Structure 1
């Protein structure tokens, strides 16, 4: 059985889980507390980050984008990177937006400060980082909402890795109650469509010790 080393609230791990599930590829989950820096895990990934996917033939893959590219090439029956060159370029642009710009401006300022610092024993959240994260969230939701209003899915006519990357970040933030869905109705409607997919059910069932999600978190109708 292929194994995915992950953390439940890691957006990058969640993205890979969604890709595996959308492609109906069976896998086993193993939580990896990266801050413990286990020697066995460092042998798999010297960067000591999740996700890491170990294929049934022993192939080890690290970095969420590298894993997703590999999965789309190795299991092409459900394409998630687009079919044409233009589609693939747009999917990659939006994945870079959410895994890069959104992560730096929102996820790192909220999820890292409120959740990861606690797990790593690095003190209390930085108030300035929290303010910046909440302030940055609205323009990002506005952009996501514009994409959702002007396209069927974020990158075009079909569900793609762009939708899964965005939903992975938003779902992790939603778990800790940091998304104000009243800020943009189109973004909220798009997210409801994504989290209603069967691939999303395992994420909505996740629970993290000491942190309870808001009541709407697992509700497919919000």
Structure 2
């Protein structure tokens, strides 16, 4: 049986889940409290991070490497363009969200509001929350700039870059930290992603002790 060891509000886990669902690769989901660094989990991935994908007997780790592997072994539907310049742009934007957006927004908002309590690491740092709330405005503005010139973030076709962005934004939206009224073009883009069948399991996620925002699973938010 194929298994994805994941955490519901891990954007990296969500990105892989979106890729798997879009490519119609069936997997069982096993929630992993990765911060506990259990011996069994460390045997699966010595880096101690989620996601980890058990696929056809292979144990795969690192979300970027997993997504590229899936693209190579299951090329349809494609999530990376064939053109080298276009592939570069997808990888650039995927890195933007997985690195810059995570450090400036996801880790500051979800990290403080949810992870601290779940991991037993005390109370939220209000300075970090405020910094994340300021930073997300810049990122939404940048997304709007891209989407005013393109149908999707990296070009005219939906790609891995869109899934990376949606994975992070969906985590932050869980705690109602996205101002969807800031840019209509960004809201429209997210509505298209959110309505895809691949997104359904994400909208069903709930973290005990943290209720999702009222609009979280609403396709007409």
1:86 matched residue in structure 2: 85
Matched, 1:42 2:42: yes
Inter-partner Cα distance in structure 1 for 2:156 and 2:75: 18
The alignment of Structure 1 onto Structure 2 pairs a total of residues equal to 221
In structure 1, distance between residues paired with 2:36 and 2:95: 29
Q: Which residue of 2 aligns with 1:102?
A: 101
**Structure 2 residue aligned with 1:31:** 31
Q: Which residue of 1 aligns with 2:3?
A: 3
Corresponding residue of 2:151 = 152
Deviation at 1:13, TM superposition (A): 0.2
Unpaired runs of 5+ residues, structure 2, are none
TM-align CA RMSD: 0.8
Matches within 5 A, 1:38-187: 38-56=38-56, 58-187=57-186
Large movers: runs of 4+ above 3 Å? none
Stretches of structure 1 lacking an aligned partner (at least 5 in a row):
none
CA deviation after TM superposition for structure 1 residue 180, in Å = 1.5
1:124-145 CA-partner distances (Å, limit 9, x unpaired): 1111111110000101001111
**What is the CA deviation profile of residues 27-48 of structure 1, one whole-angstrom value per residue up to 9, with x for unaligned ones?**
1100000122111110011111
**Shift of residue 82 of structure 1?**
1.3
Give me the whole-angstrom Cα distance separating, in 2, the residues matched to 1:29 and 1:47: 20
Rounded to whole Å, the distance in 2 between the matches of 1:124 and 1:215 is: 24
Aligned residues of 1:11 and 1:169 also touching (Cα < 8 A)? yes
Q: Tell me the SS of whatever aligns to 1:60.
A: strand
Alignment partner, residue 220 of structure 1: 219
Structure 1 contact 146–186 (Cα < 8 Å) conserved: no
Alpha-carbon distance between aligned partners in 1 of 2:22 and 2:144, rounded to the nearest angstrom: 23
Which segment drifts farther, 36-45 or 10-19?
36-45
Secondary structure in structure 1 of the residue aligned to 2:133: helix
TM-score (norm 1): 0.97
Instruction: Write the distance in 1 (CA, Å) between the matches of 2:127 and 2:135.
Output: 12
Task: Tell me by how many angstroms 1:122 deviates.
Answer: 0.5
Please state if 1:206 is matched with 2:205. yes
TM-score, scaled to structure 2: 0.98
